[in-house]
Amino acid sequence: MPNVPRMGYIIRRSNQNAYHNGDTYVECQGKMCLLSKPLTKCEKGLLRCLYLMENTTCDYPDYTQVKTITFNNGDFLKPIL
């Protein structure tokens, strides 16, 4: 199977609107915000804790604090729907 870009995990798993025009934007507080990789240790730690919670418990993590960051490279690629 060829290496084809796909819609990223965060975009697929959430109910937030997203827009891709070479960069990926997600809707936050009524405007479109650029999606980025976590930059600080705090952001990385928080995101890792939320991923761990989602993958090891029945709880649904609150991603509202990290709506504009992701570790998933697929979130930065053009979606193929």
Residue 34 pLDDT greater than 80, yes or no: yes
Task: Give the chain's domain count.
Answer: 1
3 within some domain: no
Dig out the tokens for 23 from the structure. Answer: 């960069």
2 within some domain: no
* Residue 21 to residue 36: CA distance in whole angstroms: 14
18 within some domain: yes
70 within some domain: yes
Tell me, what DSSP letter sits at residue 57? S
The pLDDT value given to residue 77: 80
4 within some domain: no
What percentage of residues in the chain have a pLDDT greater than 70?
Answer: 80
For the question of whether the overall pTM of this predicted structure is more than 0.75, the answer is no
Residue 12 pLDDT greater than 60, yes or no: no
57 within some domain: yes
The pLDDT value given to residue 40: 92
* Residue 6 to residue 22: CA distance in whole angstroms: 14
16 within some domain: yes
Dig out the tokens for 63 from the structure. Answer: 């991603």
- In the chain, DSSP assigns E strands to 18-20, 24-28, 31-34
Q: What is the residue range of 36's domain? A: 9-76
